[in-house]
Amino acid sequence: MFSDEKYLEICSEKTLQVDKEGFFLQFAKTVAENVGEKWVKNIFGKLKTDSQRIRIIYKDDEIKDYIIGFLSNVQEIYRKKSPEIALNRFSEAEKCGDSQKALNLYNQAILKSPESDPTLPLALIRRANLLVTLNEFSHALTDTQLALKLKVPNDLKFSVFATMAQCYKALNDETKAQISQNLAENLTNDPKLIEKLRQTMAGEYAPIERVEKVIPPISERHADFSHASSKITLKTSPDVGRYVVSNVDIATGEILVAEPAAVACLNPEKFGTHCQHCFARLLAPVGCPHCSSVAFCSPKCRDDAITTYHKYECKFFDLLLGSGMSVLSLMALRIITQQSLTQTLEIYDKKNTNALYNLCTNESKRQNSDFLQRSLMAAFLLRCLQKSGYFGENGTVVPTQTEHKVGEMLLHYLQILQFNAHEIYETLYSEDHSLKSAKMINIGVAVYPTVALFNHECYPSVTRYFVGKTIVIASIRPLTPNTPISENYGPIFTRIKLAERQRTLLGRYWFNCQCQACLEDWPLLTNESNYVKRLKCPMVKCSNLFPLSPEIEKCPKCQTKILLKELIEKLDWCENQFKIGIDFVKSGKREEAIPVLRQALDTFHRVSAPPNGETHRAQEALRMCLADQGNTFDCLV
């Protein structure tokens, strides 16, 4: 399958463990060395199912002692709350003259403080007051509500209700504003405080207004794929397996899929900047009641998490991350923890009809050594579930029948996630929000069962962007009926040479790319001087392309008469429209740019064909315009 087996091994191991300092792969390699190649090949390698692979590592005399000994050491390791650190950060915030630095310190105090500690309500109250000065009234209101659920000292209750009144006033809820004001006034006998509050309430407020990103609608939904357009069809072939094609004409810029994540995990390096649950940017985070490893943007996200997956992951987070495991391995665990044991077993019983469970695993191409490593990771994740109480009372290391089923599912998911996960990204802008300053950053990983069915091309027909954790797939060029609809898995012909693309795709995804850009070895965009402008035969049923030449009067293939001047005029018009559209983008007029670029790209693909430098720059501009409708963040230069 692959000439460079070492590179394949490295790529595969990276999907299990990414941190070189982690302990998991060292454990897995020690096990493999101790059981020996013969056992791996002749005993383990003869097994045909994931169920058999999971069971044998607990039962076979050659391996079971290593496994049980290792798993017996699994224990809770997590970042606990720290009243000392919380108080220290609160004290620093109180002395800080910089609003943003003070906010960050209050945030740290809140995340580190136990619910029973007196620092928590104080920090919430002080953060609420600071947020009011920043016109962040919605977040300030949440802080006052959270503080009141705790033990607020009597001498601070006036301040809490006064702040609450201001927030309701700024958010145009006059009734609650008046109620909060009355409660505040009833808590003090100081006429000066009452008068000051009344003056404050009489003022004008200008809360910060944020444009809420909206998931775009799909004109007509597919009968079988509820998050996709009816304009797509799923097909199967012996060569490429399942793939998606168009069943009607599709114009540039059409929304083909808008799918929520079946499972998603935030990248660990983003734990301090993004919500663990919805992936939104954090401004005034709230924490888990037990650990200080994660943060949430709101009480709702916190409650959704701690009543599902986080209650099982919470006290094992540092152990999981310390193992060095990849976010894909963590996501295999999350697939289980985000549902109850009853729901998980229902999926097991109906796995042949579950969209996520039936994604590609490439099981027939997988090496014995890789199966062994994934079986060991599944066992490690299963032990964490056992210790977390997912199965009820904490039993022995050796799984019960029910636990074996979940272990089997974990092994299966570890194979699926290797090939079917999508990185969730956010677009960062500098202060001017310009295209030139835009930078894509990876914030998390998710699985989308419908989008996972789209195959790869190095010249893709769609682009993707994200609204929260929802993926949006839009066409980036026009498609005729029965045309494969392709995504791009990373290697794109405009930026990466053929040999490197092929090596990456074969090593990471285990296939030889046979797309047009690869077969014809299209030059990089930086070598666009090697691009040859070509024209399409105007006959729909003729696929011939020919160069711009004054000698051309008829199509060399079908002999149709060619109106060369008309075709060249259309091509010139396209290139002029590309420039207009890109100028709109550069000047920040993205909404004006989109229809210009869409129409020009549609026309270009009717009269000409890639590769074409102006066309690919226009597609990139359109991609950035669409991404701007998703996750974005304006940061300081």
- State residue 637's pLDDT score: 45
Nearest alpha-carbon partner for 7 in 386, 499, 454: 499
Q: Which residues pair with 423 in a beta bridge?
A: 445
pLDDT in tens, 128-173: 999 999 999 999 999 999 999 998 999 999 999 999 999 999 999 9
Pick from 54-68, 389-403, 524-538 the range whose average pLDDT is largest.
54-68
Domain parsing of the chain, residue ranges: 1-76+261-272+300-447, 83-201, 532-634
- The span from the CA of 629 to the CA of 426, in Å, is 11
Cis amide prior to 121 (ω within 30 degrees): no
Confidence band (pLDDT; 50, 70, 90) for 636?
Answer: low
- The span from the CA of 351 to the CA of 487, in Å, is 26
Confidence check: pLDDT of 596 > 70: yes
CA dihedral 158, 164, 170, 173 (to 10 degrees): -120
- State residue 2's pLDDT score: 55
Confidence band (pLDDT; 50, 70, 90) for 280?
Answer: very high
- State residue 349's pLDDT score: 97
Q: Mention every residue, 6+ apart, whose C-beta is less than 8 A from residue 223.
A: 230
- The span from the CA of 9 to the CA of 532, in Å, is 40
- State residue 131's pLDDT score: 98
Q: Rounded mean pLDDT of 382-401?
A: 94
CATH class of domain segment(s) 83-201: mainly alpha
Low-confidence winner among 52-66, 241-255, 288-302, 545-559 (lowest mean pLDDT): 545-559
Percentage of residues of the chain with pLDDT beyond 70: 99
- State residue 67's pLDDT score: 98
- State residue 137's pLDDT score: 97
pLDDT in tens, 323-355: 999 999 999 999 999 999 999 999 999 999 999
Confidence band (pLDDT; 50, 70, 90) for 561?
Answer: confident
- The span from the CA of 396 to the CA of 409, in Å, is 19
- State residue 538's pLDDT score: 83
Q: Mention every residue, 6+ apart, whose C-beta is less than 8 A from residue 529.
A: none
pLDDT in tens, 94-134: 999 999 999 999 999 999 999 999 999 999 999 999 999 99
